[in-house]
Amino acid sequence: MTDPLVIAGTSFSSRLIAGTARYPNQQVMLDALEASGTELVTASIRRISLEGYSGSLVELLGDRYKILPNTAGCVTARDAILTAELAREALETNWVKLELIGDRELLYPDVEQLVHAADELVRKGFTVLPYCNEDPVSCQKLVDVGCAAVMPLGSLIGSGMGIANPTAIELICKRSTVPVVLDAGIGTASDAAQAMELGCDAVMIDTAIAKSHDPVRMAAAMRAAVEGGRLARLAGRIPRQRFAEPSSPQLGLVGS
């Protein structure tokens, strides 16, 4: 595996983490996940519908993907911790994408509760990947309590606004001692490429694929963008400069 993404000792060849929500139907979801090349997909933990216990997402996904359960919708550390423990029991995985929301409209993280919950879950043996806000201080606190990665938001969940604060993301990537996964707000392929060029180790995408006009095609686009952005990052871009510099040689011009 060349240039693998390594999180908590597990290697992935894909740097695209995909969500399973908001697809038009299950078949489109399966086809899009395949087209994306992802190896890690997220799932929520929800009450079964007692009216009819229908077939599960996990069975649909089969063994093809590693499943990363999330604590989406939780607003207290207690609920997030319980959800993580239920996820561990249901899926037999220690991995959890920790989401602790401080504002139901904006879906911004509650940093204080998030750090507290992350700390407790790490002590309980979880591999914690927290969805967090895009500031280097919060990310460092999460690293300090033992998170396996940090997942700063690009912009509001589901908004498609792209990376609102590229400077902050770049700073987080520069400082972080754990993988940085840009999570939330990606809208199209160029956003994903930008995340990788800024130094992110991976991106997490759900709505931008699932709600696009052609999710399977967008998934393929995102795959290419993540790979392209990563290659560009490794290649080392030219600096931005405020003046022109001709690319063709100045000597031997016709008529000179």
Partner 1 sequence: MMRLRINGAEAEVAVATIAELLAEQGIDPKARFLAVAVNGAVVRRTEWPMAALAAGDNVEIVRPFQGG
Q: Which residues bind partner 1 (CB under 8 A)?
A: 19-23, 29, 42-48, 50, 53, 56-59, 67, 69-70, 72, 78, 82, 85-87, 89-91, 157, 204, 206-207
Q: Answer whether 149's CB lies under 8 Å from 7's CB.
A: yes
Q: Which is nearer to partner 1, 70 or 138 (CB)?
A: 70
Q: Exposed, middle or buried: residue 56 (CB in 10 Å: 0-12, 13-18, 19+)? A: exposed
State yes or no: is 97 an active-site residue: yes
We find the least distance from the C-beta atom of residue 253 to partner 1, in angstroms, to be 57
Those residues whose C-beta lies under 8 Å from the C-beta of residue 124, and which sit 6 or more positions away, are 81, 85
Tell me the closest approach of the beta carbon of residue 19 to partner 1, in angstroms.
3
Question: Residue 72 in 3-state DSSP?
Answer: coil
Q: Find, among 91, 14, 38, 4, the residue nearest to 216 by Cα.
A: 38
* Residue 183 beta carbon to partner 1: minimum distance, rounded to whole angstroms: 9
Indicate the residue among 64 and 78 with the shorter CB distance to partner 1.
Answer: 78
The minimum distance between CB 59 and partner 1, in angstroms, equals: 7
How far is residue 151's CA from residue 180's CA, in Å, rounded to a whole number? 6
Closest CA to 152 of 132, 129, 176: 132
Of residues 76 and 165, the one with the C-beta less far from partner 1: 76
Cβ proximity to partner 1, 91 vs 122, nearer residue: 91
In terms of CB distance, is 13 or 56 closer to partner 1?
A: 56
Q: Give residue 61's identity as a one-letter amino acid code.
A: L
Whether the CB-CB separation of 193 and 208 falls below 8 Å is answered with no
Kindly name the residue from 97, 124, 174, 211 that is annotated as catalytic. 97
Helices (H), 146-244: 166-175, 189-198, 207-210, 215-235
The residue type found at 123 is R
Give the shortest CB-248-to-partner 1 separation in angstroms: 48
Classify residue 79 by burial, with Cβ atoms within 10 Å: 0-12, 13-18, 19+: middle
Hey, which residues are catalytic here? 97
